[in-house]
Structure 1
Amino acid sequence: MKIKLFVLFIIFSNIIFAQNKTCEDAVFAIVSSSKSYKWATNGLEKAVIKNGGKGIGWIMYSSPNPERYNALSKSDFYEIVLHETYSDRNFNFRTYVFKPKNLTLYKRDNLNNVLIPIKYNKKLLPLYKSKCLK
């Protein structure tokens, strides 16, 4: 019963607060809709907490408009880095790049220094366009 109530709360919250999403939220929604993100984070937060950490998080390292979107640097794309959060450090474990020019999402392969195109929920593009292309 608690799980059903929690799921309903999440759905209801997303509907109510959809108008208040920022560009960062829209880009992260695109990232989090990918199978790659779901696979990489499945059960991870629980494991990090069990290991003494605080959880997992993300940061936008770069964007076309870093001042407006709270990114650390300027680029032609959005770069989202996922990390495990511990009291003494953050451990980066996955990087995603969303390129507005071709509306493509990539997973960065750091070992081979390449971007691998991945699928995401294209129904999120209107949210992205309304929040990021003003």
Structure 2
Amino acid sequence: MEGERRTRVLHLGDYDASGEHMFSSLAEDVIAFAEAAGVEVEFERVAVTSGQIATYNLPTAPPKATDRRSFSGTATTQAEALPPDILATIVRQAIETHRDPEVHRRALAREEAERRAIRERLSRHPDPGRPPVE
């Protein structure tokens, strides 16, 4: 269809069997529902990855012996181990990687036009804190 857009879901989760299972189950279910509706959805895990564990020297723990689900790693890391500023940078970079700069520019221009229109309407009222009397 013309104008149809793909949806990309960025996932943040623990690096453990539970986190991997949640990611794959969520992706599988949402993609199935979306395909039934004729919509394309892509999933991308942006945190926590094995590379981030090494890069940021994140704390690890052995996998839980009671968790029998498959897991690709030999050690686990909780998402909370990523400092908030680093996590924000990771998310920002993931978004910017997929963002269409022209669509973003048009959205910012539309927001500014809407702000101007709201300010103009508010300036017509003697007391912007009170609703107009009819």
Q: TM-score of the superposition, structure 2-length normalised?
A: 0.23
Structure number with the bigger relative contact order (C-alpha 8 A, sep ≥ 6) is 2
Rg bigger for which structure?
2
Q: TM-score of the superposition, structure 1-length normalised?
A: 0.23
Greater percentage in helix = 2
Greater percentage in strand = 1
